[in-house]
Chains A and B, each alone.
Chain A
Amino acid sequence: MTRRSAASIPHSAASADTAEIPADLLATLGPLGRAGWCLLVGLVAIVCWGAGAYIYQLRHGLAATGMNDYFSWGLYIINYIFLIGVGMAGTLISAMLRLTGASWRRSITRLAEAITLFALLLAGPMIMIDMGRPDRFLNLLIHGRLQSPILWDVFSLNTYLAGSLLYLYLPMIPDMALLRDCSAPFAPWRRRLYRVLALGWHGDARQHRRLEKAMAIMAIIILPVAVSLHTITAWIFGLTLRPGWHSTIIGPDYVIGALYSGIAAVITVMAIFRRSFHLEKYLTADHFRKLGLLLLTLCAVYFYFTLNEYVGPSFVTETAEIPLLAHIFHGPYTVVFWSMATVGFLLPGLLLALPWTRNIPGIVTASVLVNIGMWLMRFIIVVPTLSAPYLPFPPGTHYHYVPTLVEWSITAGAFAAFGVLYLVFAKLFPIVSIWETMETEPKEATVPVAANQPAEEVLV
């Protein structure tokens, strides 16, 4: 799309009436409906349950968890890594696809950025929940040591969070203006919200130029920040003297793992909204196919990384690695490990690779499996290493890690909170970017086939 035609949109946007906004997109902002309310109430109930569990934990300390002096990290840290991994989704779709000029991303960028934002919003609290003294949180500022990887992680997470928020918000401004000006019967507070968020956008060429510039800059800035977050989180493990963690490959390993679970999360969320919000026109089979292929690629790459993690130690069998490998391959974590391998690599790999299953149901099934598999993968990264200390377990002790109900409840609460945030967001704001998809479609009625519009690439 050329700049001239980009500028032509806003003129129509400025004088927008409801007809300018595709009815099916506007419909997503309508009332929640019965099923929606049931879902929301159910999710809120789970969040409350999780909050109750946390209050219980605050009262009894981390003794309410299954952690102990040997297994000093558990479910919360696993959830943290998983969540920031999912948070890679937005960056991947918005920034990487933007920089590579893949214009088909337009209808899914917002959906992906929202995943990032909410996953990160929950990742921070996960760390707080894991802290023995959340009341001393400010010590990180008062006594913070820049030499500690935890501080790097705090900075990185917050930078990424702020960046993602900005990156989600910037492309929303023209949409806010559209909604502000449209004739749909929004409640007054809602219209006021749109007015405030529209920041006085009236869509002249200058504003558009600035927006495009800001988005392009953000796309470049956010990439290294995202990579840093995953690398630093990996270093929290990699910079310790522990078999299984102390590995040179662990940084890139986490980044690839995050991309892998990020895409899977995007596909899963896409499938949910396509169904429930009737967005078949915008989230097309083509989107699923392209993301499916991306997922397949990352499946292969991540498998390759994982293979590297295990082949070396298994072949060399260094003394310290032996108990770790024994626990993973024929010990307490064997079932988890092979479930992870099946659900995280084998099944999705097959589903995505075979042409007969590379359709929407197949791709969506694969992504759901990848989500589960990647969570299990994080378990395999964190827990077995703690089960294999250099000094053997002292005689007469039986240390093991079994997460308690409190931990599971808080975990469930966190994931439900993700659902609540996402649902509220999708009801309040158009989940598919209106102005960007309108740019893509020359005629509103035609089914968008992005590949047919090479001119698009110029702008991006």
Chain B
Amino acid sequence: MNLDRRHFLRLGMATAGAAAVAAAGFETATAAQTPAPGNSGAAGGVSGGNAGGKTMKVMTTDGQLLEVPAGQARQIKLPVLSSADIRQGIPGRRFVMMIDLAKCDGCGQCTKSCGQMHFIPPDRQWIRVFQMQDSPATAPYYMPRPCFHCDNPPCTKVCPVGATFKREDGIVLIDNERCIGCRFCMAACPFNARCFNWGPPNDPPAALAEGYSPEHGFPRRIGTAEKCDFCPDMARQGKLPDCSSGCPMGAIYYGDQNEDAVTNSQGETLRFSQTLRDRAAFRYREDLGTQPRVYYLPPVNRQYPGPDLHSKKGDQA
């Protein structure tokens, strides 16, 4: 039933000549934020591409709106991902994240960028910045917590319908067309990384305009779970997740463990395994055995003050 529905949706998109929009639509929030009419105009132009001296508006992959002669416009088809593709993951990749706690100043930009890209309602956060202090005598620090995409994920183990699943590229996703809303995964995740659509979702039109994919998690559906998706849709385009690219400090590195390289928003690329060793990286609550794919570099030699846990909110950006 779900499959049929998904096929139907995809078919609907294709026949509407909206493949170009879908392609551009993958282009993050920037694309989606521009008024929908502009998009559909471009799509219309593409489908009627035989017009002679006419020009048409198209949106580039980095979000610029251009006017080009209609005859030169060519429709590029992004591979349509089947549900099996999405469940399998991107072949040959193993995504990892590395967060440098020494660089994080708690500004919360990661949360904001992520929220914009995924149209996250204000009552929840996929990546959340916690104020930590390991013991009374040690320094407090900020710790951004996305979903850890655990290699031994307690959340997917308990799902009764396989709505949340672990992929070969390491990513843990939720299919909100299958989720029955039992919330067992929320109880099972020891890091409270999961959120729930308790009421009817209030997605903006830009979110609704896009077809659903577990790889970006919207449009939302009532009564289903959601969480950080590690941005596989961005990775497919060779881009950083929005939390990473949105971090002004370059604290969030993202990459492929198979390539042994992680990159941050400042374009700094580090050798992953080497950095883990050199900087004494750790994973949060290793003792729980969930084997997170998110590594932290300890908050040593910080250039920024940590949180003041005794005042209301230590905001020192």
Contact = CB atoms under 8 A, between A and B. Distances in A.
B129 to A, nearest CB: 8
Nearest to B187: A240
Interface string B169-194: 00000000011111110111011101
B181 A131 contact: yes
Interface string B143-184: 001000000001001111111000000000000001111111
B205 to A, nearest CB: 21
A72 B180 contact: no
Interface stretch (B71-79, B196-204, B207-215): B196-204
B198 A68 contact: yes
Contact of B154 (A70, A151, A241): A241
Interface residues of A, number: 45
B128 interface: yes
Interface of B is mostly: loop
Contact of B181 (A133, A148, A395, A396): A133
Interface stretch (A135-143, A189-197, A207-215, A440-448): A135-143
Nearest to A142: B1
A145 B198 contact: no
A61 B198 contact: yes
Nearest to B179: A133
B109 interface: no
A124 interface: no
B180 A395 contact: no
B195 interface: yes
B200 A132 contact: no
Nearest to A236: B184
A239 interface: yes
Interface stretch (A10-18, A198-206, A384-392): A384-392
Nearest to B192: A389
Contacts of B179: 132-133, 136
Interface in A128-184: 130-133, 136-140, 142-145, 147-151, 154
A394 interface: yes
A2 to B, nearest CB: 51
A73 interface: yes
A171 B132 CA distance: 63
Contacts of A63: 198-200
B161 to A, nearest CB: 4
B184 A150 contact: yes
B121 to A, nearest CB: 11
Contacts of B14: none
A406 to B, nearest CB: 12
Contact of A61 (B129, B132, B145, B223): B223
A137 B223 CA distance: 12
Contact of A148 (B184, B197, B198, B307): B184
Contacts of A237: 187
B198 A67 contact: yes
Contacts of B186: 69, 72
A242 B187 contact: yes
Contacts of B190: 240-242, 389-390
Contacts of A396: 313
A239 B154 CA distance: 9
A132 B197 contact: yes
A396 B180 CA distance: 31
B172 to A, nearest CB: 15
Nearest to B125: A394
A391 B145 contact: yes
Interface string A228-240: 0000000011011
A61 B199 contact: yes
A240 B183 contact: no
A274 to B, nearest CB: 41
B55 interface: no
A148 B187 CA distance: 13
B199 A69 contact: no
Contacts of B1: 138, 142
A152 to B, nearest CB: 9
A60 B199 contact: yes
B131 interface: yes
3 residue pairs, one from A and one from B, having the closest CB atoms: A132-B181, A132-B223, A63-B199
Interface of A: 60-65, 67-70, 72-73, 130-133, 136-140, 142-145, 147-151, 154, 236-237, 239-242, 386, 389-392, 394-396
Given A133-B179, A137-B180, 15 more contacts: A68-B198, A69-B124, A72-B186, A72-B187, A132-B196, A132-B222, A136-B178, A145-B159, A148-B158, A239-B188, A386-B187, A391-B130, A394-B125, A394-B130, A395-B313
